[in-house]
Structure formats: C-alpha cells, structure tokens
Amino acid sequence: MNLSKRDSKHIWHPLTQHKTAAPPIGIVKAKGALFWDEDGKEYIDAIASWYTCMYGHGHPEIIKAVQQQMEQLDFVMFSGFTHKPAVQLSEKLMEILPANQQKIFFNDNGSTAVEAAIKMSLQYHHNKADKRDTLIAFEDGFHGDTFGAMSASGISSYNGPFEDFLLNVKRIPTPQEDTIDEVLEQLEAILSENKCAAFIFEPLVQGAAGMKFHSAKGLDRLIKKCQENDVLCIADEIMTGFGKTGRNFASDFLECKPDIMCLSKALTAGMFPLSITSCTQRIFDGFLSEEPSKGFFHAHTYSAHPLGCAAAIAGIDLLGSLAMQQHKKRIELAHEEFADRLKENSKVKNIRTKGLILAFELTKEMERYGTSRSALYDHFMKQGVCLRPLGNTIYVLPPFVITDDQLQKIYNSIEHTLAKL
C-alpha cells in the first residue's frame, strides 16, 4: 500500500472534510522550491509550504546549524534554564526587529504566539488594577486556531461552531486609502464605549483573508489612536515576517511601532515549529513585582527548543545575505511584469503585488472550500504547481531561491488555467 492509502486508516488531517476530500498526496522529498511525491511527480512549491520555507527546502546552512545543535544540546526546560541558541536568537532578533521591541517570549507555533500576546495584554492591564475586557481586531483577520487567537480571527468558516465561547472582540474594517477617516471614527466609537485591552492586526497584508492589502498610513493612525488610550497594539507578523513584504517586517513600513509582535512560520525556515512573542520594555516591566502572581505564568513544554532556535539563527543570517536580497529583487520584478501581463486578462481583477506576494481575484465568485475552488487547486496540481487558491483569490508567494524558470512555469500555469475557465 502506498502512503496515501495507509494514511487514510488512522490519520485525521487539518482543514479537511474527510467525507469528500481527495486522498492526500504522499510527499517523499523536497529541495529548494521543489518537492516530489511517492510516484516521482515533481511540484513547484509556489507558496513556500504556507510561507515557511522561504530560503528553499533543505537549505544546507539550516541543516548544518540544526545538525550541530542536535549533537551539542537537544533540549532542556526553559524555566530556570537558558541556552546559547535562545540567547543568540534573542540578540539576532534585536538587530532586525523595530527598536522598541526589547523582550523575547518563546512559544511553539503561531497560534500560541498570538495566545501569549493576548494574555500578556490582558494581564498587563490587570496588573495595574485596570480591568479591560475587550479586544479590537480587523474584519476577516486570521490569527490562529486556539481560543484566544480564534476569537481575534474574523473568518467565520473556521469559527462557526465555537462562536458562543469566544472572547469579547470588536471589529473594524481594514483602512484603505479612501476610508481612513471612516475607520478611525469607528475605532474611536469602540474605544469610548468599551474597556479595550489590545488591538490585534496583521500589518499591511491579511494572509488567510486572501492576501488583502491595506493602507500603511491608515494603520499608523489606528495604532496611534490606540496607543494614546493605552490599548496595546499587537502586530501579528506570522505571515508577513521575514522579508515577504519586501522589508524584514511589515511593521518596518509603519511609523508607529507595535507594542507586541508575533513571529512564526518563516522564523525557522520551515525546519522546526517555534514562535516568538516580542514586546517592549514597558510591557515587560508591568509584570515585575514582589508578588509572584503578577509574573506571566504561561509556558509551553517545548519553549525555546534549541533546534528551532538554531534553525532561526541560520535563517536570519540568510535573510540578511546578499544572495537573498538579490533573489528578492529578481522576484519582485518578475511579479510586476507578470502583473502587467495579467492586467490584459478580463477573467481577473484586483491584481496586486507587494514584495514576494502576487495576488489577484477571479471575476468568477467561488466558495472558500467549494467544488470549483477544489477544481482550480487540482488543475494547478496536475500541472505540477502547488498553489492553494483562497476562494477565488489566487496568490503566489514563492521561496526566495525559486529559479526564473520555475517562476515562469507558475505564471504559465496560471495563464493556462485562466484560459480554461
């Protein structure tokens, strides 16, 4: 029996309706921007495996770093102990994060980074005897699948059955260039009617919503307004972090820096699950007290796993390397050229690019996980291109190391698919 058949006996897959889903494809090998299935078919990883493996699969520098770390120290608890990979990673992050970020809290995945950020914000106010019970978030945001993160998320296809059990969240639309004043007014109304603890957002690009962009200037004004009211601003950079928007972080496009940042996905270049919740000195200081209970009593067993930290350190070195900077420019240019080509096509709209992200909508409407969306996905996969349309949004977010040929093959496959629609 092949992997795919053996899988169906005991495995329950994420984001899957097993009654109707096609069997999963057994993957046996990956390198650079490619992976191969058990029948030897080759696929281009056009979304860098959910935007994690940004330096390509199996990058030799990442492998070397993890191998060396494995032989030295596999794991030790992170309460009462520390280790070199964690310390070194905190120092590396200080070099690239916005200057107001001063403390690094370790978690093990994106949702738990968000969960820690929300709990930090709630307790920050609680420690000051200022009880605040409301969060502010964008419509259609996505922040993860644990309860706090799910509460902040506004995509109902994920949250439906749990809606009665979520935290208190007020939503505002994302600011577009021509709606900034309107959104600001909505925010002001929420701030005056509620006790708001934090504002959580995906800065500049909402990934799961379908790579939706918004105005940096508008976000700046929202952050400023929140900070004037001591509402902590949480930038969820789990998707946008590590070069995807053209700068290291989407927050680098902002003048008002977030109080808290969440990082994961490309943090470890796809090698290991690890995440970070960083914050300002002021937030950290809000937990200092003679009373133990004012500390942040939140932990995951695998916090700051040395192998994840080693992968992250090697990843940040790659991010800053001349080679990756050149790759980035090359991909940005190719995306722009293709976007121009697409503008001629009447079957698409809202063509947009930012850094390594290229996205557009089909003029044809589609359900997020409906059959026509599945047919689209299957069509790309048949052509050896792994793209995962979000409803009728098609987006490309390739690893930096993708070759020009591979990139053109993705674009051609998109055009070929459009021609068939």
Ligand X SMILES: *Cc1c(COP(=O)(O)O)cnc(C)c1O
Q: Which residues are annotated as a binding site for pyridoxal 5'-phosphate?
A: 110-111, 236, 300-301
**Residues in binding contact with ligand X, number by CB under 6 A:** 14
241 lies in the binding site for ligand X (CB under 6 A): no
Euclidean distance between CA atoms 53 and 330, whole angstroms = 18
Euclidean distance between CA atoms 332 and 324, whole angstroms = 12
Euclidean distance between CA atoms 180 and 249, whole angstroms = 22
Nearest of 134, 105, 130 to residue 117 by alpha carbon: 105
**Feature table: binding site for substrate:** 50, 265, 388
**Feature table: binding site:** 50, 110-111, 236, 265, 300-301, 388
Q: Find the shortest distance in angstroms from Cβ 142 to ligand X.
A: 5
Q: Find the shortest distance in angstroms from Cβ 68 to ligand X.
A: 26
In 190-252, the DSSP E strands lie at 196-201, 205-206, 212-213, 232-236
361 lies in the binding site for ligand X (CB under 6 A): no
Ordered DSSP codes for 241-264: TTTTTSSS-GGGG-SSPPSEEEE-
Residue of 155, 223, 238, 267 that binds ligand X (CB under 6 A): 238
Q: Find the shortest distance in angstroms from Cβ 115 to ligand X.
A: 9
> Which of 101, 413 has the CB closer to ligand X?
101
Give the range of 79-87, 97-105, 142-150, 305-313 binding ligand X by CB under 6 A: 142-150
| Amino acid identity for residue 74 in this structure | D
> Which of 264, 392 has the CB closer to ligand X?
264
> Which of 56, 273 has the CB closer to ligand X?
273
Residue with smallest beta-carbon separation from ligand X: 110
Nearest of 196, 201, 208, 131 to residue 169 by alpha carbon: 196
Q: Find the shortest distance in angstroms from Cβ 254 to ligand X.
A: 16
Give the range of 104-112, 179-187, 375-383, 390-398 binding ligand X by CB under 6 A: 104-112
Give the range of 109-117, 156-164, 253-261, 412-420 binding ligand X by CB under 6 A: 109-117
Nearest of 12, 36, 15, 14 to residue 25 by alpha carbon: 36
Residue of 69, 107, 111, 280 that binds ligand X (CB under 6 A): 111
Nearest of 107, 114, 105 to residue 146 by alpha carbon: 114
Fill in the DSSP letter of residue 57: B
Residue of 101, 107, 109, 417 that binds ligand X (CB under 6 A): 109
Euclidean distance between CA atoms 238 and 262, whole angstroms = 6
Euclidean distance between CA atoms 105 and 277, whole angstroms = 5
> Which of 342, 394 has the CB closer to ligand X?
394
Structural contact between residues 222 and 202, judged by C-beta atoms closer than 8 angstroms: no
Helix (H, G, I), strand (E, B) or coil at 213: strand
Judging by DSSP bridges, how do beta strands 205-206 and 196-201 pair with one another? Answer: unpaired
Footprint (CB under 6 A) of ligand X, residues 177-206: 202
Q: Find the shortest distance in angstroms from Cβ 293 to ligand X.
A: 28
Euclidean distance between CA atoms 232 and 200, whole angstroms = 8
268 lies in the binding site for ligand X (CB under 6 A): no
236 lies in the binding site for ligand X (CB under 6 A): yes
Euclidean distance between CA atoms 190 and 171, whole angstroms = 9
Residue of 144, 154, 398, 399 that binds ligand X (CB under 6 A): 144
143 lies in the binding site for ligand X (CB under 6 A): yes
Residue ranges binding ligand X (CB under 6 A): 109-111, 114, 142-144, 202, 207, 236, 238-239, 264-265
